[in-house]
Amino acid sequence: MFSRREFLMAATATSALLGSGMAGNWSRLLAQQGLTEDLLLGMQPKGNLTLVHITDIHAQLKPIYFREPSINLGIGDVEGKPPHVTGADFLKLYNIQPGSPDAYALTSDDFVNLAKSYGRFGGLDRVATVIKRIRAERGEENVLLLDGGDTWQGSYTSNITEGQDMITVMNALNPDAMTGHWEFTYGEDRVKEVIESLPFSFLGSNIYDSEWDEPAFEPWKMFERGGSKVAVIGQAFPYTPIANPRWMIPGWSFGIREEDIATHVEDARSEGADVVVLLSHNGFDVDRKLASRVDGIDVILTGHTHDALPEPVIINNTLVIASGSNGKFVSRVDLDVQDGKIAGYGYRLIPIFSDVITPDPEMAALIDEVRAPYEAELGRKLGTTESLLYRRGNFNGTFDDLICQALLEERDAQIALSPGFRWGTSLLPGQDITFEDLHNACAMTYPAAYRSTMTGQMLKDILEDVGDNLFNKDPYYQQGGDMVRVGGMGYTIAPNKDIGERITDMTLLATGEAIDPAKDYVVAGWASVNEGTEGPAIWDVVESHITKNPTVKLPDNQSVKVVGI
Amino acid sequence: MTLTRRQALGLSAGAAAFLAFGTKAGLAASDATEAAIKAFTGGAMPGSGKVSLDTPEIAENGNTVPVGVSVDSPMTADNYVVAVMILADGNPNPAVATFNFSTMSGSAEAKTRIRLAKTQNVIAVAKMSDGSTYMDTKEVKVTIGGCGG
């Protein structure tokens, strides 16, 4: 991130504009005056080797708004430790000035005003510029570009092309390796077909053939860069067949399998690796624990939990790097390798301010080309929002409130359940909601919106189960994601308690009555992992709702009470 | 349309698991498990070490959970592993498999798949040729799933 001097420059230049309440051209003006591409990319180089990390792009080809969470609780040993620090605490921890570009990039504080000043993030044409500049500065033969996965899913165009738009664009960026998670929701056949066509390696040390219990993917690969031998071990999301439909990938089994990683580290070292990198989709807390238990990993490029941290977290001599999501950041890790050891490092989490970084013209053209067949549909206006729409947060997000509202009304249900995904972009008050925006929040290969009856006990069991996936004190039992979002029902949660004891006071909001464990309730939801789930696609449900209610204004959601924190 | 709970929730381990998954397996073994271990060891509760159990932290499919066990032993005539018992603490009949070894086995390793109806401890007990016994315990969680990031 910014050095102190750089930061002061930027802050001085921008302070006059903050709180002006003006939107539109201000962001570009601000960019021209204060922030510059050189400022965003500039860092003191270190050593000969550079790792460039991007992860969890979720198919966002174009610049977007993305609000970071205001609540991201850490449980047990990681309570209050990054990335479980948000808002003012985050700014204090990393010595970031409120209202500064970094504050806007890394926290949710004053998000709407800052978004109007600083504009959107990302766009793979901007990312291409950054990567090209790093390669030019450091020398192509000294740079490794690594993609942490969740790249092919998360937009209308990726869903309709089975990830092909992203594959085409990412291939043009020329990565050296990737691993995956949502990639697998296109099914075994599609993933195999794509991997055969990729001009780089898809690594997955923890993916096994489920019938023969043998490794099914290339686990790691040795690269020669910057005069060093660099081993990259790939780790796909360990709970893909649990958090996503197992029936789509029946031939593959996953898991954390840390002993396999330890074996690969040993093998890599014995084959002369100077540097060992884990390209991981484990999630931050899982990687933090793994780094403490598996020796000899120099760098973990972590993903899945969508955290963006301006400094590495160092665990057991391992640098753990968290590079955010949705194309909002690119990480640059410079390594000074001496005698097979890391003698020093430099790090910069580069926020991709889309108004500051010049789009790479070739990449911009390619992105327009892959989107062209769908452009008219993508831009179709469905309504307008008066509320800030976002998703990140442990318990709810306004975009999910909208989805739950649509489920309740369109499916005539008492209670709505919407999964606690961490992907999905943000919309500012006053913005149109386009077809593309809606699909950014729900594009996936198992979108059926079911309508069912469940007993109060079942609802409680679901909340307890998901709560334990999020708040289990042992990170190896966490699956990432956030609490399932609930419409029509309120509850109290005590994250620090054990499974079965976290959820109390479940209340049907329509009547104020307590949920009866023995009684049946009509429940609507989407994204069931079960084969054969029936119902209309969630985007059709929400589009129909917005069409009938074209001005979205959401009340403050106070239906979840958090206690014991 | 009315979905069964299994259809709606992606419960891989069957309805019984769903009703019971909220109960976390405790550290202490059930009476039936303890009795089965003692019957296997000849009355002693085993110490820790030597035997290592390989299980997933969270089962992908409770109906068929891969379980591997290996015991650190030279497998020579005067020092070898006689047998390894696998137990599922939440099973009504906890002893699910026993593997017998001899010096001819070369190494004491085995893999199998077991059914787990709910979150519980899986235990491996190794009996050595000198009569000493060792055990390893791992909790395997059986979950609904469905909400990954």
Q: What's chain B look like in SS3?
A: CCCCHHHHHCCCCCHHHHHHCCCCCCCCCCHHHHHHHHHHHCCCCCEECCEEEECCCECCCCCCEEEEEEECCCCECCECEEEEEEEECCCCCCEEEEEECCHHHCCEEEEEEECCCCCEEEEEEEEECCCCEEEEEEEEECCCCCCCC
Task: Give the pLDDT confidence of A73-102 residue by residue, as tens digits.
Answer: 999 999 999 999 999 999 999 999 999 999
CA–CA min distance B26, chain A (Å): 12
> By CA distance, what is B68's nearest residue in A?
A213
Among A213, A422, A529, the residue with its CB nearest the CB of B111 is A213
Residue A562's pLDDT is: 97
Residue B43 lies in a domain: yes
Among B5, B24, B58, the residue with its CB nearest the CB of A498 is B24
Measured CA to CA, the distance from residue A412 to residue A410 in angstroms comes to: 6
Residue B148 lies in a domain: no
pLDDT at A32 over 60: no
Q: List C-alpha distances in Å: A40 to A2, A98, A132.
A: 7, 18, 14
pLDDT at A145 over 90: yes
> By CA distance, what is B54's nearest residue in A?
A257
Residue B116 lies in a domain: yes
Residue range A413-432: average pLDDT?
Answer: 97
Binary contact (A453, B60; C-beta < 8 A): no
The Cβ of residue A364 has, within 10 Å, a number of other Cβ atoms equal to 19
Measured CA to CA, the distance from residue A497 to residue A565 in angstroms comes to: 10
Residue A130's pLDDT is: 98
Residue A34's pLDDT is: 78
**How many contacts, defined by CB atoms under 8 Å, are there between A and B?**
137
Measured CA to CA, the distance from residue B136 to residue A89 in angstroms comes to: 42
Report chain A residues whose CB lies below 8 A from the CB of B3.
450, 452, 528, 533-534
The Cβ of residue B10 has, within 10 Å, a number of other Cβ atoms equal to 23
Residue tagged 């129909």 (tokens): A544
Residue range A216-221: average pLDDT?
Answer: 98
Residue tagged 């959601």 (tokens): A557
The band of B145, judged by pLDDT with boundaries at 50, 70 and 90, is: low
Which range marks the domain in which residue B117 is found? 5-142
Residue B45 lies in a domain: yes
Do A156 and A60 touch, CB atoms closer than 8 A? Answer: no
Residue A30's pLDDT is: 56
Q: Tokens standing for B36? A: 């089965």
A510 exposure class (CB count in 10 Å sphere: 0-12, 13-18, 19+): exposed
> By CA distance, what is A457's nearest residue in B?
B19
CA–CA min distance B93, chain A (Å): 25
CA–CA min distance A499, chain B (Å): 6
Binary contact (B148, A481; C-beta < 8 A): yes
Question: Among A539, A459, A449, which residue's Cα sits nearest to residue A505?
Answer: A459
Residue B42 lies in a domain: yes
- Please indicate whether residue B11 or residue A416 has the higher confidence score (pLDDT): A416
> By CA distance, what is A485's nearest residue in B?
B147
Query: What are the phi and psi torsion angles at B32 (to 5°)?
Result: -65, -40
CA–CA min distance A358, chain B (Å): 31
Average predicted confidence (pLDDT) for chain B: 82
Which 3 state secondary structure label does DSSP give A223?
Answer: strand
DSSP A128-165: HHHHHHHHHHH-GGGEEEEE-S--S-SSHHHHHTTTHH
Average predicted confidence (pLDDT) for chain A: 94
A439 exposure class (CB count in 10 Å sphere: 0-12, 13-18, 19+): buried
Residue B149 lies in a domain: no
Task: Give the pLDDT confidence of A482-532 residue by residue, as tens digits.
Answer: 999 999 999 999 999 999 999 999 999 999 999 999 999 999 999 999 999
Quick one: how far is CA A199 from the chain centroid?
Answer: 24
Report chain B residues whose CB lies below 8 A from the CB of A465.
21-22, 143-144
Binary contact (B143, A241; C-beta < 8 A): no
Q: List C-alpha distances in Å: A388 to A18, A218, A435, A560.
A: 19, 43, 17, 19
Residue range A435-453: average pLDDT?
Answer: 97
Instruction: Report yes or no: A421 at the B interface, CB cutoff 8 Å.
Output: yes
Quick one: how far is CA A513 from the chain centroid?
Answer: 37
Residue A250's pLDDT is: 97
- A478: Cβ contacts below 8 Å, ≥ 6 apart: A283, A285, A286, A469, A470, A471, A472
Q: Which CATH number covers residue B74?
A: 2.60.40.2470
CA–CA min distance A529, chain B (Å): 5
Instruction: Report yes or no: A517 at the B interface, CB cutoff 8 Å.
Output: no
Measured CA to CA, the distance from residue B76 to residue B99 in angstroms comes to: 18
> By CA distance, what is A529's nearest residue in B?
B10
Task: Give the pLDDT confidence of A365-405 residue by residue, as tens digits.
Answer: 999 999 999 999 999 999 999 999 999 999 999 999 999 99
Binary contact (A530, B9; C-beta < 8 A): yes
Binary contact (B149, A468; C-beta < 8 A): no
Which 3 state secondary structure label does DSSP give A28?
Answer: helix
| b (16+ CB within 10 A) / e for A137-174 | ebeeebbbbbbbbbbbbbbbbbbebbbbbbbebbeebe
Instruction: Report yes or no: A239 at the B interface, CB cutoff 8 Å.
Output: yes
Report chain B residues whose CB lies below 8 A from the CB of A244.
148
Task: Give the pLDDT confidence of A238-280 residue by residue, as tens digits.
Answer: 999 999 999 999 999 999 999 999 999 999 999 999 999 999 9
Write out the residues of chain B at the interface with chain A, using a CB-CB cutoff of 8 A. Answer: 1-3, 5-12, 18-19, 21-24, 54, 56-58, 60-61, 66, 111, 119, 141, 143-149
Among B2, B7, B146, the residue with its CB nearest the CB of A532 is B7
Residue A5's pLDDT is: 38
CA–CA min distance A458, chain B (Å): 8
The band of A22, judged by pLDDT with boundaries at 50, 70 and 90, is: very low
Residue range A8-36: average pLDDT?
Answer: 47
Task: Give the pLDDT confidence of B8-31 residue by residue, as tens digits.
Answer: 443 333 232 233 333 333 446 789
Task: DSSP letter for A477, please.
Answer: G
pLDDT at A15 over 60: no
The band of B92, judged by pLDDT with boundaries at 50, 70 and 90, is: confident
- B138: Cβ contacts below 8 Å, ≥ 6 apart: B53, B55, B121, B122
Residue A541's pLDDT is: 98
B64 exposure class (CB count in 10 Å sphere: 0-12, 13-18, 19+): middle
Domain count within chain B: 1
Binary contact (B1, A535; C-beta < 8 A): yes
Measured CA to CA, the distance from residue A400 to residue A7 in angstroms comes to: 35
Binary contact (B143, A465; C-beta < 8 A): yes
- Listed by number, the residues of chain A in 182-221 with a beta carbon closer than 8 Å to a beta carbon of chain B are 210, 213
Binary contact (A450, B147; C-beta < 8 A): no
Question: Among A372, A333, A393, which residue's Cα sits nearest to residue A148?
Answer: A333
Q: Packing angle between helix A538-548 and helix A398-410, nearest 10 degrees? A: 90
pLDDT at A140 over 60: yes
Q: In what order do the strands lie in the sheet with A489-493?
A: A503-508, A489-493, A560-562
Q: Tokens standing for B146? A: 């469905």
Binary contact (B9, A306; C-beta < 8 A): no
> By CA distance, what is A421's nearest residue in B?
B149
